[in-house]
Amino acid sequence: MGNKLKALLKSQFKYLHFFYQILKIRMLLILMISICYSLVDALSLSVFIPLFQIASGEETGNVGQKSSYFIQFFDWIGVQPTVNAVLIIMIIFFSLKAVFRYIDIFYRVLATSYFVKRIRYKLLEAISQVEYAKFVTVNYGTIQNSVTGEILNINNAFAQYISLIQSLTFVFVYLFLSFLTNPKFSLIVIIGGWLSRLVFKSLYKSSEALSLKITHQNNELSGLVLQKTANYKYLKSTALLSRYLTKINDKVLAIEKQVVVLGRTSAKVMAFREPIIILFLALAIFIQMNVLNGKFNAIIIILLFFYRAFGSLMSVQQSWTAFLKYVGSVNHYETFLNELKSNSEKSGKEVFQSLEKEISFEKVSFTYSSGKPILDAIDLKIPKNNSVAIVGKSGSGKTTLVNLACGLLKPTSGTVAVDGQSLSEMQLASFRKKIGFIAQETVVFNDTLFNNVTFWDEKNEANLHRFFEAIKKVDLEEFLQKSDGGEDTLLGDSGVVMSGGQRQRLSIARELYKNIEILILDEATSALDSQTEKFIQESIENLKGQLTIIIIAHRLSTIKHADTIVLLKDGKVDATGNYQELIQNSPSFAQMVALQEL
Ligand SMILES: Nc1ncnc2c1ncn2[C@@H]1O[C@H](COP(=O)(O)OP(=O)(O)OP(=O)(O)O)[C@@H](O)[C@H]1O
């Protein structure tokens, strides 16, 4: 029973809980301001009643008999309830109402901007903290859409939700005043109002489901568009663009269809709300007059309150209908955020200072969640300032091994350790700060050459010097000299103004600029022509003895001078040794060398 009640409360207050979690005390403030505003509004309206009473009392001369709590209020403060006194009170209340209206609107703006900032920040933070293994399974479109379009939808949902709270407060305040005046009649009308809600319940449910569906489809659409942009050149040059466009169009059409259905549901709710409410109100008046034999006079005042309460109730339903249009985004945000949070990277406490001895793999096995074991009980030592090359057939697990070395992946069993300390106990960020990672995919930001290399370091003399050094090491001096803007040259989206090789060299320059101890190169020079590769090779070789280098390369000429070469085969270390040793001792390696005609 307790659990059922809890579940009921949770489902009823699900969204309130969601907004409260983000806004905390601000949510209460919104509620308080709403209550104050609605009370002042109710009181301002109530002033009309004594005004009517005084007017009719003056005519009939029986003010005393029609006394209301307002007249009693005048008695209490010892002021004659004259028209002038009531008018002054009225002006005071309406001015007060304006003050609360101002506070209400302004505070809403403050709360909304805080809300948007928080939800965006929370999501971005969760994305940064999620485990790499989880991250690679998330659709890029979902990420993109979640931090842009979806946030706007949630913002709209929030705006509607606050309006809903305010209208609801109005409803309660007016119902409370109605109860004070005529409890029996109020009860009938309230039951009617409650029943009217049931009529709309199934429509609300389908709106909610549709909205969630639209959100999912928008995410998929974003993913498709992102992939189209990323693979534009390929799609265009192979005339596959139009086929891909058909795929995107299908998704657009599917979304359009859902939006139309959602629009139809919303239209039904909007159109039938008023007649249904009027029906219930008419029924309540009928019961009051014919069943309870009440007088119409007795309910005039209360009808005024109900008129206001119903107006607000309509706003409640209006806000709720509008809210439901965006609720899919709220649900998606919550689910996505929880999914990211439950997969956030666990980092140890030990702060990494400096590599003293070695990085070691002790019986490390690894299996991706989706398949067969990739690495099987690997034992490997990478001594400080040594260069170790990992070779093996495509798919043999080389990239997986370096991902384990920098803690992007966690071993399924065994330990990856740094100077004997398991990476699982290490504060990963402190360790990764000392790692330079250059992969086949170049990393270029849409900014200047300087900012790309220095990662937005301050442009002072010392940093400029380090920048030029890095540029020299990767042979980008010519590019720098030929660019009109020098180091301030804008590189465009993904570095469009550079060739593939230049982008690769830029990625290498960024790592050389940093103060790193470990350099990981995963097919880093694969996009370069032999001459440039040789030049960079020399630059990297100059670093030998100063950095611990782990290098993956298919072109075996690249790793000829590595201190140790590790040959991976069938998930195991098949052979280790330097180039000459391996040629002599490992038939597999000798065959690889022969195939490359080295
Ligand atoms: N995220 C993933 N989920 C499931 N399997 C994966 C994932 N990443 C890689 N694999 C699989 O793990 C195996 C090893 O991949 P890995 O990228 O480590 O190989 P590699 O030796 O670096 O290959 P290549 O030389 O082609 O770059 C492959 O069979 C690949 O299909």
> Which atom of ligand 1 is nearest to 440's Cα?
27
Taking the centre of ligand 1 as the mean of its atom positions, its distance from the CA of residue 133, in whole angstroms, is: 12
Contact 566, 573 (CB under 8 A): yes
pLDDT of residue 403: 93
Is the Cβ–Cβ distance between 226 and 141 less than 8 Å?
yes
Confidence (pLDDT) at 241: 77
Rounded Cα–Cα distance for residues 471 and 539 (Å): 11
Could you tell me which of 35, 23, 33 has the C-alpha nearest to residue 113? 23
pLDDT value, residue 577: 93
Burial class (CB in 10 A: 0-12, 13-18, 19+), 36: middle
| Closest atom of ligand 1 to CA, residue 523 | 27
* Protein residue with least CA distance to atom 18, ligand 1: 397
Full 3-state SS string of 275-325 = HHHHHHHHHHHHHHHHHCCCCCHHHHHHHHHHHHHHHHHHHHHHHHHHHHH
Q: Between the CA of residue 109 and those of 29, 149, 155, 272, 319, what are the distances in Å?
A: 13, 20, 11, 32, 17
Gap from CA of 224 to ligand 1 centroid (Å): 24
Q: Which residues of the chain have pLDDT under 50?
A: 1, 58-67
Convert the pLDDT of each residue in 351-392 to its tens digit.
999 999 999 999 999 998 877 889 999 999 999 999 999 999
* Pair 389, 544: CB distance under 8 Å: no
Torsion angles phi and psi, residue 515, rounded to 5:
-95, 80
What value of ipTM does the predicted structure carry?
0.96
pLDDT in tens, 317-340: 788 888 888 888 999 999 999 999
Amino acid at 480: L
SS3 of residue 422 by DSSP: strand
- Residues contacting ligand 1 via CB (< 6 Å): 136, 368, 370-371, 374, 392, 394-400
Q: How far is the CA of 398 from the centre of ligand 1 (A)?
A: 8
In whole angstroms, give the CA distance from residue 229 to residue 350: 42
Question: Which atom of ligand 1 is found nearest the CA of 133?
Answer: 1
**Could you give the strand order of the β-sheet that contains 564-569, starting from the edge strand earlier in sequence?**
435-438, 518-522, 548-552, 387-392, 564-569, 572-577
pLDDT of residue 5: 65
Residue 558 CA, ligand 1 centroid: distance in Å: 21
Q: Report pLDDT for 64.
A: 39
For residue 172, give both structure tokens. 């309660």
Distance in angstroms (rounded) separating the CA atoms of residues 445 and 436: 17
- Domain 15-342 listed as CATH 3.40.50.300: no
Atom 7, ligand 1: which residue's CA is nearest?
368
Atom of ligand 1 at shortest range from CA of 370: 4
> Which residues contact residue 597 at a Cβ distance below 8 angstroms, ignoring those fewer than 6 apart?
none
Cβ atoms of 125 and 344 within 8 Å: the answer is: no
Give the contacts of 274 (CB within 8 A, at least 6 positions apart).
314
Give every CB contact of residue 289 below 8 A, 6+ residues apart in sequence: 295, 296
The pLDDT, as a whole number, for residue 351 is 92
Domain boundaries, the chain: 15-342, 358-595
pLDDT of residue 301: 66
- CATH assignment of 358-595, given 3.40.50.1000, 1.10.10.10, 3.20.20.70, 3.40.50.300? 3.40.50.300
Ligand 1 atom closest to the CA of 136, numbered from 1? 1
